[in-house]
């Protein structure tokens, strides 16, 4: 919670400065002072902006997404960050769509896009979010090391079964999007979007807000512990160096 409070302060400060520098509307600039809440389920999404990363998947049902974000009892907030290659026009369009959406008064208090993604922004995000989301189009994800860093910090992964998550996910240490069925890209995008919204609304949000008499989310804490216990020892540079030595050099 301390790390999450620090993330919220970071999002407010950097969003205020960025909006002021861009000359945004006064209302949009002032909204940055009070955006985000450390008590609200916080989902992070940060990586290169490339077609197969499917940045636009989360916006495929904006009406449903807005309802989840603004639920009076169990709201959700999203923090995004990333960069697009200057020559990748499709990626830049997807990024612009997200940036335009975050200006919508209906969601701007709980959606932030942090510009100029770098190591400091990544550090704040992987330490402070509750959930790390990753929605690459299978089978194009090489690894996904950002999710491994989140696990070490106690965050839960919410990802397509590709890259490292195909190996790391055990059903109780995080959340899966979609399945391993072999379909074309159009059908895969549709199925994964449906799965993403369903898991978010039926599994992640209820579990995070299910609190006991002491105000603690016992099921969520159990998943955090299992995530650290099953993922941190296996997905590390120690393992990487050991496997290079055993499988290649020796």
Query: What CATH number is associated with residue 115?
Result: 3.40.50.2000
Mean pLDDT of the chain: 93
Contact 70, 207 (CB under 8 A): no
Q: How many domains in the chain? A: 1
pLDDT of 108 reads 87
- The helix-helix angle for 119-128 and 2-22 (nearest 10°) equals 140
pLDDT of residue 103 exceeding 90:
no
pLDDT beyond 90 at 105: no
Give the domain extent around 68.
2-249
Residue 160 CB burial class (10 angstroms; 0-12, 13-18, ≥19): buried
Query: What is the C-alpha to C-alpha distance for residues 214 and 240, in angstroms, rounded to an integer?
Result: 41
For residues 84-109, give the mean pLDDT: 85
- Over residues 160-202, the pLDDT tens digits come to 999 999 999 999 999 999 999 989 999 999 999 999 999 999 9
User: In the beta sheet, which residues pair with residue 157?
Assistant: 132, 174
**CA 150, chain centre distance (Å):** 10
Give the chain's end-to-end CA distance (angstroms, integer).
45
| Cβ neighbours of residue 247 closer than 8 Å, sequence gap 6 or more | none
Phi then psi for residue 195, to 5 deg, are -65, -40
pLDDT tens digit sequence for 118-152: 999 999 999 999 999 999 999 988 888 899 999 99
Lowest-confidence pick of 21-30, 82-91, 154-163, 221-230: 82-91
Prediction pTM value: 0.93
Query: pLDDT for 21-45, tens place per residue?
Result: 989 889 889 989 999 999 999 999 9
């Amino acid at each position: 919670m301390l790390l999450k409070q620090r993330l919220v302060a970071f999002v407010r400060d950097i969003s205020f400065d960025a909006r002021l520098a861009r000359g945004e509307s006064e209302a949009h600039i002032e909204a940055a002072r009070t955006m985000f809440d450390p008590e609200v389920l916080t989902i992070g999404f940060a990586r290169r902006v490339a077609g197969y990363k499917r940045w636009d998947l989360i916006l495929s049902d904006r009406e449903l997404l807005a309802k989840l974000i603004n639920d009076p009892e169990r709201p959700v907030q999203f923090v995004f960050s990333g960069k697009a290659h200057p020559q990748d026009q499709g990626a830049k369009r997807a990024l612009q769509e997200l940036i335009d959406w975050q200006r919508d008064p209906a969601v701007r208090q709980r959606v932030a896009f942090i510009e100029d993604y770098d190591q400091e922004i990544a550090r704040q995000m992987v330490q402070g979010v509750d959930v790390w989301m990753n929605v690459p189009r299978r089978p194009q994800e090489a690894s996904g090391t950002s999710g491994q860093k989140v696990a070490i910090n106690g965050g839960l992964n919410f990802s397509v079964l590709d890259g490292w998550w195909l190996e790391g996910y055990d059903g109780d240490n995080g959340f899966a999007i979609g399945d391993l069925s072999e379909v074309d890209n159009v059908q895969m995008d549709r199925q994964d979007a449906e799965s993403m919204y369903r898991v978010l609304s039926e599994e992640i949000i209820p579990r995070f807000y299910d609190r006991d008499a002491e105000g603690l989310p016992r099921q969520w804490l159990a998943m955090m512990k299992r995530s650290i216990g099953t993922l941190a020892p296996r997905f590390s540079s120690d393992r990487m160096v050991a496997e290079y030595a055993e499988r290649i050099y020796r």
